[in-house]
Amino acid sequence: MRKLELHWQILIGMLLGVVFGFVMTQVDWGKGFVADWIQPVGTIFVRLLKLIAIPLIIASLVKGISDLKDISKFRNIGLRTIMIYIVTTVVAITIGLVLVNIMKPGDGISEETITKLTETYATDAGVTSKLEEASRQKSSGPLQFLVDMVPENALAAMSNNKLMLQVIFFTIFLGISMLLIGEKRAKPLKDFFDALNDVVLKMVDLIMLTAPYAVFALLASVVVSSSDPDLLLALLKYTGVVVAGLFIMIVFYATVVSSFTKKNPFWFLKEISPAQLLAFSTSSSAATLPVTMERVEEHIGVDKEVSSFVLPVGATINMDGTSLYQGVAAVFISQALGFDLSFGDQLTIVLTALLASIGSAAVPGAGMVMLVIVLESIGFPADKLAIGLALIFAVDRPLDMCRTVVNVTGDATVSMVVAKSVGKLGEPDIKEWDDHLEEVI
Ligand code: ASP
């Protein structure tokens, strides 16, 4: 009998997780039970994915660069990638701003709801920790981001997933130097990284075999810890605007894929779907990265020379979903609290949300930290920041799940466009998740 495809298994796992989580909210001991016995399964899965992210980036980027033969090609790929990332992010923020200005979700929020949300969340540890984190990030100079990209200790960089850009910097440096010493002398190192790359991709396969169970655990945990349904309902219009914007982004990517690469957009979405489902379940583009790389290379046919650079860089700096959300959230909060925004303020939002999405970490909830910086850039009163965040906190997790899907899809789209533009979009070379499994077990 043919086995159900993995993305269907994952989807079923997710649905069952939601149902199970909901049932657990109905019994007294449910929340504790999920936290003690179910959530750890999801946490282990996310850890496993993060565990292999750094080895995968290093191995595949070294392989990608050393296959290039000519460094000027790399410059070409690099410049195109950054430019396209900026364009897609600006498109995302613009879509968000247009929608929020037309729909005005903040105008209909009653004083009563604002008071209730403020009372529930303004002093919540989740909100205050985001404000603290934002003030820490803000106190740096304009070129700090360049300084932050250069590690002073390669091994220290590799030991921290938050330092992904430092690892990318080191690996590019290593790869280019390997090209410069010539093919013959670099061969042992190249062979080592080639083999490491294959092994790590196999590790992705093995981890993915457990994905249906892990997403069950992840979603059950999200459901039991979600907010009061009344509060969620009060924010329905705001949520609707963000989700509509994110949906338009997916349509935008599909259009870009079909017009620039001439591939069927539905095929693209189907092939990338396991990564999207994981992005949704984990709310982290960094944790999803290994799967995004696997899908884009093996199932879509983007050459490693392109994907090994475009995807890890994208996971860290390209967050279209996050920037769209930041635009909508900033205007929504201003509308709800009666803070008038001029056209100039809205342009400032475009610029700061662009920078903020580059600066946001690829982990759950990071977008909300940078939202504080967006709000401050338009002169939002500092004493009302906590109230502002409190307004949107209740729905942040579900929106985070949705915007992470867009972040990951955006990276995959750009990798296809860049690959096509440099003649590196080939045919898929599909390997199954469970290849050779029976021979060794
Ligand atoms: N969770 C998002 C990501 O990892 C970032 C954010 O919007 O909070 O892509």
Domains of the chain by range and CATH? 6-429 (1.10.3860.10)
Pocket test for ligand 1, best of 363, 372, 408 (most atoms within 8 A of CB): 363
Q: What is the DSSP string of 61-105?
A: HHHHHHHH--HHHHHHHHHHHHHHHHHHHHHHHHHHHHHHHHH-T
Strand partners, 302: 425
Interval 125-153: pLDDT, tens: 778 888 887 777 666 666 777 888 899 99
More confident residue, 115 or 13: 13
More confident residue, 189 or 430: 189
**Model confidence at 306: pLDDT above 50:** yes
Residues 26-52, buried b or exposed e (16+ Cβ, 10 A)? Answer: eeeebeeebeeebbebbeebbebbbeb
How open is the CA angle 371-121-239, to the nearest 5 degrees? 55
Ligand 1 in reach of 409 Cβ (< 6 A):
no
The number of beta carbons lying within 10 Å of the beta carbon of residue 297 is 25
Ligand 1 in reach of 403 Cβ (< 6 A):
yes
Which pLDDT score is estimated for 1? 47
- Determine the atom of ligand 1 nearest the C-alpha atom of 283: 1
Ligand 1 in reach of 367 Cβ (< 6 A):
yes
**Model confidence at 256: pLDDT above 50:** yes
- Determine the atom of ligand 1 nearest the C-alpha atom of 361: 5
Pocket test for ligand 1, best of 372, 404, 406 (most atoms within 8 A of CB): 404
Contact 389, 130 (CB under 8 A): yes
Interval 12-43: pLDDT, tens: 999 999 999 999 999 999 999 999 999 999 99
Ligand 1 in reach of 66 Cβ (< 6 A):
no
Pocket test for ligand 1, best of 369, 397, 400, 402 (most atoms within 8 A of CB): 400
- Determine the atom of ligand 1 nearest the C-alpha atom of 403: 7
Ligand 1 in reach of 164 Cβ (< 6 A):
no
SS3 28: coil
**Model confidence at 393: pLDDT above 70:** yes
22 CB burial (10 A radius; 0-12, 13-18, 19+): middle
- Determine the atom of ligand 1 nearest the C-alpha atom of 288: 4
Q: State the amino acid at position 318 in one-letter form.
A: N
Contact 291, 49 (CB under 8 A): yes
